[in-house]
Amino acid sequence: MDSDAEDSDEEKITGKNIEAKSRALDRKVALEAEIDKEEMQRAGGHADEEDDGLVMFDLPTAEEREEEKKKGGPDVQEVQRRIQECARVLGDFKRYAAKGRSRSEYLEQILYDISNYYGYNDFLAEKLFQLFSVDEAIEFFEANEVPRPVTIRTNTLRTRRRDLAQALINRGVNLEPIGKWTNVGLQIFESPVPIGATPEYLGGQYMLQAASSFLPVIALGPVPNERVLDMASAPGGKTTYLSALMQNTGIIFANEINKARTKSLTANIHRMGCKNVVVCSYDGREFPKVIGGFDRVLLDAPCSGTGVISKDSSVKINKSERDFMLLSHLQKQLILCAIDSVDPASATGGYVVYSTCSVTVDENEAVIDYALRKRPNVKLVDTGLEFGREGFTSYRGKIFDPKLNLTRRFYPHVHNMDGFFVAKLKVEKRKKQQKTAGKDEPMLNGIEEEGAEGEVGFDSDEDKPIIQDAKRKQLKAKGYRVPPRKPVVAPVA
Ligand SMILES: C[S@@+](CC[C@H](N)C(=O)[O-])C[C@H]1O[C@@H](n2cnc3c(N)ncnc32)[C@H](O)[C@@H]1O
């Protein structure tokens, strides 16, 4: 083969390679463009406009923002546009960020605009924003602007859902079952009569109740003849559901710290024909001193209400960092008392359900994680709920017990119900000498039967009387004469 021929062969081979390489390159470019387009669509961007070289988004300068403030805040449409644009940039920062601008500048801008546009204080806007991806956060804030469906729960102590539906349809009410997951819920679309004043309502055939509020009761799953504690119960939506599931048997202690709120609680209990409920008014942290040994405990805890902003928009501005700290502390104290009020030897139960109508991690996963650390005889179990997102097992650098994936989160923008959290715990008998990482104080439940000491109990001064009471019990059990008990923590009205 002469050298010319060799050259032309080589050329052919190289030419072929180049062609193949170029085709591969084209495919790669097309694929990347497709991925970018998808990413942008996910980020709410305008892929075509950008590909056409249109609309480049520039963050306002500090001076422009100052000017805007002077004019009484930004124009609504402008803010809307900026939120969308910032979301698009944050969705694909490399591609859409303006030169020299950092991610934190876009984040700062979008948070500033979100708090202005939706009317949140800066602290809460950021706290809620951090729970989601940028796009999802916007969906969440949007969903909080829209009321949730009106729903009712059939009181099976008085009627059947089919009969109730028929009675309401006869009054012109437009309704439908809520979903497969509940056989007692109805969604009301339209009603020519006030749904809280029909003869069926007054006769206790149903409760006006948010769908999310069914969930903790379903998760607790009480059965007839059990002893159940509803630790924070007014106005009684869940108490009356527990009563119906127990078919008016056994006993439910419906506790509510706020005496004024026990009125609506009692009224609902009467209206719904619940005969197995005792109403009491203690600080939940006094249990199990007041009474313990329950088969199941529901702690529908006092919370910030970040899941029900569409119902109570005051949450947007009246919650501070301190509120979340105090609430989380109270919730941690309450959950330990709820756990200690359970009889670990219960033949049918031995469960605690913890729920809140809040979506923040401090009030949910952090509380459960704390309880698991303080009470090694407790484990997370499946809630049995058919839907809901898994709880966080880690969040912003905090690592929780991996079993926190068994907890469930519900969101307005995903499930079209109030933001809600549900966790189910199984309380087991304590092994002797079980230790935790905290202080060595006796725990209340099971002291006499198991004689176990060295368990972590409570961690505030308010808990001292409870601990002293446990010690009294122990001395009594050993046959010592014990002086009468001094009054402890008075119930708060
Ligand atoms: C989320 S609401 C309960 C709603 C109720 N479970 C229902 O379904 O109708 C929380 C309740 O806890 C009460 N509460 C606040 N602090 C408490 C405490 N330390 N002990 C007991 N109840 C408390 C509040 O007054 C409020 O009524």
The model's pLDDT over 26-46, given as tens digits with 9 standing for 90+, comes to: 666 565 555 455 444 544 444
Q: Using alpha carbons only, how large is the chain's radius of gyration in Å?
A: 29
329/352 same-domain check: yes
pLDDT tens digits, one per residue of 446-458: 333 333 322 334 4
253/385 same-domain check: yes
Query: Residue 25: its pLDDT value, please?
Result: 64
What gap in Å lies between CA 414 and CA 262, rounded to an integer? 33
Instruction: Say yes or no: CB of residue 473 within 6 Å of ligand 1.
Output: no
201/221 same-domain check: no
Q: Which residue's alpha carbon is nearest to atom 1 within ligand 1?
A: 302
What gap in Å lies between CA 351 and CA 343, rounded to an integer? 9
- CATH code at 177? 3.30.70.1170
**What range does the domain containing 199 cover?**
150-209
197/218 same-domain check: no
318/370 same-domain check: yes
314/170 same-domain check: no
Q: Between vectors from CA 226 to CA 225 and to CA 232, what angle results, nearest 5°?
A: 130
205/217 same-domain check: no
> How far, in Å, is the centroid of ligand 1 from the Cα of 309?
18
pTM value? 0.80
Number of domains in the chain: 4
Query: Residue 480: its pLDDT value, please?
Result: 66
Domain boundary among the residues 431, 447, 481 is at 431
Instruction: Say yes or no: CB of residue 232 within 6 Å of ligand 1.
Output: yes
Instruction: Say yes or no: CB of residue 307 within 6 Å of ligand 1.
Output: no
Query: Residue 356: its pLDDT value, please?
Result: 98
Residue 420 backbone phi and psi in degrees, to 5: -150, 160
112/154 same-domain check: no
- CATH code at 218? 3.40.50.150
76-91 helix and 3-42 helix, angle to the nearest 10 degrees: 140
Query: Residue 7: its pLDDT value, please?
Result: 39
For the beta carbon of residue 42, count every other beta carbon within 10 angstroms.
15
130/239 same-domain check: no
CA atoms within 13 A of residue 413's CA, in its CB half-sphere: 14
Domain boundary among the residues 411, 431, 451 is at 431
Query: Residue 69: its pLDDT value, please?
Result: 83
402/427 same-domain check: yes
> How far, in Å, is the centroid of ligand 1 from the Cα of 324?
16
371/234 same-domain check: yes
Question: Residue ranges of the chain with pLDDT lower than 70?
Answer: 1-56, 433-493
Annotated binding site for S-adenosyl-L-methionine: 232-238, 256, 283, 300
Is 316 contained in some domain? yes
Query: Residue 65: its pLDDT value, please?
Result: 84
Is 283 contained in some domain? yes
What interface predicted TM-score (ipTM) does this complex get?
0.99
Number of H helices and E strands in the chain, helices first, is 19, 15
Is 457 contained in some domain? no
Query: Residue 109: its pLDDT value, please?
Result: 95
420 forms beta bridges with: 410
82/170 same-domain check: no
